[in-house]
Chain A
Amino acid sequence: EAGVAQSPRYKIIEKRQSVAFWCNPISGHATLYWYQQILGQGPKLLIQFQNNGVVDDSQLPKDRFSAERLKGVDSTLKIQPAKLEDSAVYLCASSLGSQLRTEAFFGQGTRLTVV
């Protein structure tokens, strides 16, 4: 089966610009996550969707970050305006259900560099 697809793979922007990332989860996966992975650290959750509803966005910097999953399939994550500290890899993951026992499958990520 196809994995989690993300685009673009790499993005370089200047601070204060905006950027958007796209994610297509594994077919049939109702749960979708966005994680931020800063160099030298483990991934940290930004937002979790169950179908098109938000389950947890407590760690999303809502003054600059937004995410949507309008039809319960694809998702976009936006940053506006970007700051230097937003430089990171943004990982999308999906899982079949929302049970605690269910493993998540990750995409290759988008590497963002803010200059």
Chain B
Amino acid sequence: AQSVAQPEDQVNVAEGNPLTVKCTYSVSGNPYLFWYVQYPNRGLQFLLKYITGDNLVKGSYGFEAEFNKSQTSFHLKKPSALVSDSALYFCAVRDPNQAGTALIFGKGTTLSVSS
């Protein structure tokens, strides 16, 4: 069965420092990987996706993510965190062998950036 693990409930970083939010996945086929961000009382906003090709993908608001097939990971990164990056981040996967195209989400990681 497909699954996504976000091992950290919360990540705390100081403004200006680099940040990493971890994600590992388990699918039976080649994965399609996504990151979404959720601000309070807002819907999920798409950040970036990995489909194929370059293992480093760039997305919105300066975020990037690195796909590592051998480690089945897709960690979200940003070189310099902003206080406004504080939010709930979700990693999600689609498996080519699943029925439909629903996203399978991790439980989320709360990012807190302090000034």
Output the least CB separation between B98 and chain A (Å).
8
Contact in complex: B43, A4 (CB < 8 Å): yes
Contact in complex: B32, A42 (CB < 8 Å): no
| A residues in contact with B102, CB < 8 Å | 33, 45, 48, 56
Interface Cβ pair total, 8 Å cutoff: 64
With A42-B90, A44-B105 known to touch, is A106 a contact of B43 (CB < 8 Å)?
A: yes
Say yes or no: is B71 at the interface (Cβ < 8 Å to chain A): no
CA distance A58 to B102 in the complex (A): 11
CA distance A33 to B49 in the complex (A): 19
Say yes or no: is A71 at the interface (Cβ < 8 Å to chain B): no
Output the least CB separation between B55 and chain A (Å).
16
Q: How many chain B residues touch A (Cβ–Cβ < 8 Å)?
A: 26
| B residues in contact with A98, CB < 8 Å | 101
Output the least CB separation between A10 and chain B (Å).
10
CA distance A91 to B107 in the complex (A): 15
| B residues in contact with A108, CB < 8 Å | 41-43
Residue from A42, A101, A107 having most chain B Cβ neighbours under 10 A: A42
With A91-B44, A106-B45, A107-B43 known to touch, is A101 a contact of B51 (CB < 8 Å)?
A: yes
Q: Can you name 11 A-B residue pairings with CB atoms under 8 Å? A: A41-B107, A55-B99, A56-B99, A91-B43, A91-B44, A95-B101, A101-B51, A102-B101, A103-B49, A106-B43, A108-B43
Residues on B close to A: CB < 8 A? 4, 32, 34, 36, 41-46, 49, 51, 90, 92, 94, 96, 99-108
